[in-house]
Amino acid sequence: MVSNILSRRREDREKWGDRLPPGQKVVDDWPVLTYGGTPRVDLKSWRLRLFGLVDKEVEFCWQEFTSLPTITVGCDVHCVTSWSRMDNVFEGVAFLELMKHVKPRPDATAVIAHCYGGYTTNVILSDLRRDNVLLAYKHDGKELAPEHGGPCRLVVPHLYFWKSAKWLRGLEFIPKDRPGFWEQYGYHIRGDPWKEERYS
């Protein structure tokens, strides 16, 4: 059993090289990891609210949000429980594109992502201001499935996947980084898979 796992890890390492962060193993399916149930969000009532330390609060309905220019990002996702899913294609609105519609105040340094269902997670602004961070509503060419965060989820490819909040409903700009849901239960405040920032 143990030797099976170890040889599987060695094969992954040979196949994916530096793309696989330390301690991860590759899966071929796409596991669902949700704390609690899957919230069902009707597109008619769906809203995305950008609030907190911003010059002017903004709220998008689905029609407005999906009229914004989109980007397509290819990335690997790494769950802290040690599975990685390689070669995902996410499509949606770049965080930097959204920033054309809302101006964070100079004292904003971090964001709390708020979700339908109550989940939260924190990400510092410098981690969001990268050109491959997006609010995704398609995965591998299809609309994002409800269990994977549809209608819309955050995708922050360079951090552990718990930072990629599913069923996103708001981004709150805050003065100082503070723990979200899993971070309060001992997950690392930042969660860089390359540094194995799993738990604190």
Ligand X SMILES: Nc1nc2c(c(=O)[nH]1)N[C@H]1C(S)=C(S)[C@@H](COP(=O)(O)O)O[C@H]1N2
115 binds, among Mo ion, ligand X, none (CB under 5 to 8 A by kind): ligand X
Distance of CA 80 to the CA centre of its chain: 13
Q: Which of residues 60, 90, 162, 173 is near ligand X by CB under 6 A? A: 162
- What tokens does 189 get? 């405040």
34 binds, among Mo ion, ligand X, none (CB under 5 to 8 A by kind): ligand X
Distance of CA 183 to the CA centre of its chain: 14
Query: 93 has which bridge partners?
Result: 135
User: Could you tell me the smallest distance in angstroms from the CB atom of residue 79 to ligand X?
Assistant: 4
- What tokens does 69 get? 């220019």
162 vs 167, beta carbon nearer Mo ion? 162
- What tokens does 97 get? 């594109």
- Site residues for ligand X, 50-79, by CB under 6 A, read 79
Per-residue DSSP letter, 199: B
User: Could you tell me the smallest distance in angstroms from the CB atom of residue 83 to ligand X?
Assistant: 8
- What tokens does 118 get? 């109550």
Binding site residues, Mo ion, CB under 5 A: 33, 79-80, 162
- Site residues for ligand X, 101-160, by CB under 6 A, read 115, 117, 119, 148-149
67 vs 81, beta carbon nearer ligand X? 81
- What tokens does 25 get? 């193993």
Q: Is 157 left (phi over 0), alpha (psi -120 to 50) or beta?
A: alpha
- Summarize as ranges the residues that interact with ligand X (CB under 6 A): 30-35, 79, 115, 117, 119, 148-149, 161-162, 164-167
